[in-house]
Amino acid sequence: MSWPSPRWRATPPPTGGPPPSSPSARSYAACSSAKAHPITIPTARPPSTCDHTSPPKIPQREGEEIAMNTPRALIVGMGIGGLATAMRLREIGWEPVLIERASGRRPAGYFIGLFETGRATAQRMGVLDAIGNRAGADSITYDIERSGRRRPGMGYGDLPGGPRLILRGDIEAALYDVVAPHTEIRYGTTPIAIDEHADGVDVTLRTDQGDGATETTERFDLVVGADGLRSTVRRLTFGPDQEFMRPLSHIIGATILKGPLPGYRPQDGIVLAEPGRSVWTFPFTDHHPGVLFNYRTGDEDAQFRRPPIESLRRAFGPEPTGPVLEYLLQQFEQADDYLFDSVHQVEMPTWHTDRTVLLGDSAWCLTLYSGMGASTALAGADLLGTLLQRNPGNIARALREWDQRLRPFIDVQQRGGRTQGLTMFVPQSRRDKAIRTFTQSLMSRPAGKRVMKTLAARQFKEKSIDIAAV
């Protein structure tokens, strides 16, 4: 699952750096704190094959010497893709420099699922155990009506492939614990100009220092844009957002509840799905549950000309809300932090130039309806490191091979996200709703549940491919 940088948030966004191209765009809003996961640095990778006259000296702590000919990469964005890229580039003998627009690390964020594609990559990188799994063994997700009627249904954790149910920050914390001691990290910093040459990339960086800002220009061998749906690197290198962002005509709202859903066990979740709108809750074993509102709209801009809670109430009206939906709407209205945004995919004919590459949401934004945002960010970073290592001194060829290897896989995930994935989260018609109701009735019986999981497995097999294993 992948979360965009929202248009609305409950607290002001970090300052510093150029504004997004859309005047309504905002930086990421997130909730609660992720637990730290101390781990050891994996050693299973082959030694670096970078073209050095002597082995590069990878810094183990601040101030340690770096070989003069160590290739240097600027990584923009400190989310999953950026941190994973920094980890892999350090492993192969590069010097990564991480910059982040925000003034510090982001909190834990919202619910995501980690499918086998991401689990295999995390295992190879040595961070899977640290990421963990917050799914409860005896969790039940109920399909409910506004009246309160409920029946056991299929929750996110019941999907084929058994995705791990975690918070975005669980992956980021596991990666950060490996990356931070060995990597230069600059907060409050954004690129404002990218000038690519045959022998390097000159990047002008703006750093907010509280009482002012400074600008410097530095040379890098590679620039990696892992800065999300409304990517600054993409705008500076490839063009404006509207050329690449494909709207799906849906709005999402998400927050973390202040406690368990009344009338349900702490480990249980609910889905209220109606034509064109739905609300899901996601329970965790050791964290308050998350809630996700979804609705279809024919006028995206109008949703942001009024407070988010007003748009949500209009979308889920005019029918009486009933006790559960009303409670969830009140929780959203009272939340200190929340996400409220439109849903887009990013579609590009290429994700790279000779020395600049986009990765994760900035390149392909699968949307949360695909469920593969975190998995593909990990896999994309892992594969990038492998192909740079296999092509020492030829970054352009490594990026071409990376794009060619990854693109067919991403295309499949994008198609699934805007078709079956979208319909799973939000029934698009009365027919979809009727099919869902019939499916849930089958799921209430053990034999029916086995049959439905077998049928659904065909749609989910692509989420189990270890695309980064080359």
Categorize the per-residue pLDDT at 136 as very low, low, confident or very high, splitting at 50, 70 and 90. Answer: confident
pLDDT band at 435 (very low <50, low <70, confident <90, very high): confident
Residues of the chain with pLDDT > 90, as a percent, come to 67
pLDDT (average), residues 132-146: 90
Fold (CATH) for 72-427+459-464:
FAD/NAD(P)-binding domain (3.50.50)
Sheet holding 141-144, edge to edge: 150-152, 141-144, 269-274, 277-282, 290-296, 245-256, 339-346
Among candidate residues 327, 311, 305, the one with its CA nearest the CA of residue 252:
311
Report whether 56 contacts 66 (CB < 8 A).
yes
Between the two ends of the chain, the Cα-to-Cα distance in Å is 24
Q: How far is CA 183 from CA 17, 86, 357, in A?
A: 22, 8, 20
Closest C-alpha to 370, from 115, 62, 90: 115
pLDDT digit string, tens, across residues 243-264: 999 999 999 999 999 999 999 9
| Confidence check: pLDDT of 60 > 50 | no
Nearest by Cα to 94 from 184, 191, 197, 192:
184
**Cβ neighbours of residue 69 closer than 8 Å, sequence gap 6 or more:** 52, 53, 56
Integer Cα distance of 223 and 97 in angstroms: 10
pLDDT score, position 457: 65
What band does 37 get if pLDDT is binned at 50, 70 and 90?
very low
- As given in the structure block, the two tokens for residue 446 are 């053990």
pLDDT at 65 exceeding the cut of 90: no
Determine which of 47-61, 91-105, 302-316, 456-470 has the lowest per-residue pLDDT on average. 47-61
Name the nearest CA neighbour of 133 among 153, 162, 159.
162
Burial of 212 (0-12, 13-18, 19+ CB in 10 A): exposed
Query: What are the tens digits of pLDDT across the range 325-365?
Result: 999 999 999 999 999 999 999 999 999 999 999 999 999 99
Q: Are 387 and 404 in contact (CB under 8 A)?
A: no
pLDDT at 67 over 60: no
DSSP result, 301-353: GGGGSS-HHHHHHHHT-SS--HHHHHHHHHHHHH-SS-EEEEEEEE--S-SB-
Please give the Cα distance from 229 to 244 (Å, whole number). 10
**Closest C-alpha among 426, 418, 435 to residue 372:** 418
Residue-wise pLDDT tens digits, 141-165: 999 999 989 988 777 777 776 789 9
Q: Is the pLDDT of residue 17 over 60?
A: no
| DSSP classification of residue 67 | -
DSSP structural state of residue 64: -
Q: What token pair was written down for 336?
A: 């200190």
Closest among 50, 346, 19, 361 to 206, alpha carbons compared: 19
Cα(381)–Cα(87) distance, integer angstroms: 9
Question: Which tokens in the block code for residue 147?
Answer: 């009246």
Which among 19, 1, 283, 275 is positioned nearest to 142, based on CA atoms? 283
Contact 340, 291 (CB under 8 A): no
Count of alpha carbons within 13 Å of 260, Cβ hemisphere only?
A: 12
Which of 74, 320, 423, 58 minimizes the C-alpha distance to 217? 74
Residues near 215 by beta carbon (within 8 Å), at least 6 away in sequence: 192, 204, 205, 206, 207
Domain ranges (residues) in the chain:
72-427+459-464
In 10 A of CB 336, how many CB atoms? 11
Can you give the pLDDT at residue 51?
Answer: 34
Contact 226, 360 (CB under 8 A): yes
Average pLDDT, the chain: 85
Separation between Cα atoms, residue 388 and residue 50, nearest integer Å: 8
Percent of the residues in the chain that have a pLDDT greater than 70, as a whole number: 81
Per-residue pLDDT tens over the stretch 261-272: 999 999 999 999
Reference 143, options 404, 455, 441, 448; nearest CA is 441
